[in-house]
Amino acid sequence: MKTLETAIPDVKIITPLVHGDNRGFFLESYNKKDFANIVGLGIEFVQDNHSRSGKNVLRGLHYQMEHTQGKLIRVTAGEIFDVAVDLRKSSPTFGKWAGTRLNSQNHHILWVPPGFAHGFLVLSELADVLYKTTDYYDPDSDRCLIWNDPDVAIPWPIRGQPLLSPKDQEGVRLKDAEVYYL
C-alpha cells in the first residue's frame, strides 16, 4: 500500500496494490500491519458500514462528540467526492477540508482520523460506500456540520442542490458547531 498526500497531512489517501488480469482483479483492502505503518499503532476498527446512494445524494458532514470515530472509506461501485473537515480546535488545519474522488476504478481508500467531520457526494448513478469505524455509532453524540458552510467553502462538484436527509439539512455552521479539544 502507498499513500497520497491531501491538503491535511493526517487525512490519508491509501492506494492498494491491485492485481488484475482478464478474469478481474484482487486487492487487499485492509491489512492491520500495513495500516499501522501508514497511520501509526493503536487504531482498531469495531464496526463496518455499507451505504448505497443515488446520484447527487450528499451524506454529511457527520461526526460524533462522545464516541469519536476514525473512518476508513472505500467505494466498491460507482464514484463519490469524499470530504473530511478538521474539527480539532488545536490543529493548525482547524476548519480546513481535504477531499478526493473515490471510485471503483481507482480503488483508493480514504483514512479520516478521529476529530473530523466526514461526508460525501455521489457522482455516479449509484454508489456503494463501505467504511470501517474506530468506535460504535452513538445517535446521542451524533452531530452534523452543514454541507455548504461558506466558512469551510467546499467546492462540491454539483450543479444545483444535492439530495439531503432532514438531519443533513439542519446541520450547523462551523462557527456554531461543537468541536474537539484533542
**pLDDT (tens digit per residue) in 81-139:** 999 999 999 999 999 999 999 999 999 999 999 999 999 999 999 999 999 999 999 99
**pLDDT (tens digit per residue) in 128-180:** 999 999 999 999 999 999 999 999 999 999 999 999 999 999 999 999 999 99
Of residues 62, 107, 108, 118, which has the active-site annotation? 62
Please confirm, yes or no, whether 62 is among the known catalytic residues: yes
Domains with residue ranges and CATH for the chain: 2-176 (2.60.120.10)
3-state secondary structure 45-59: CCEEEEEEEECCEEE
Of residues 63, 107, 108, 131, which has the active-site annotation? 131
Among 58, 60, 54, residue whose Cα is nearest residue 158: 58
Please confirm, yes or no, whether 107 is among the known catalytic residues: no
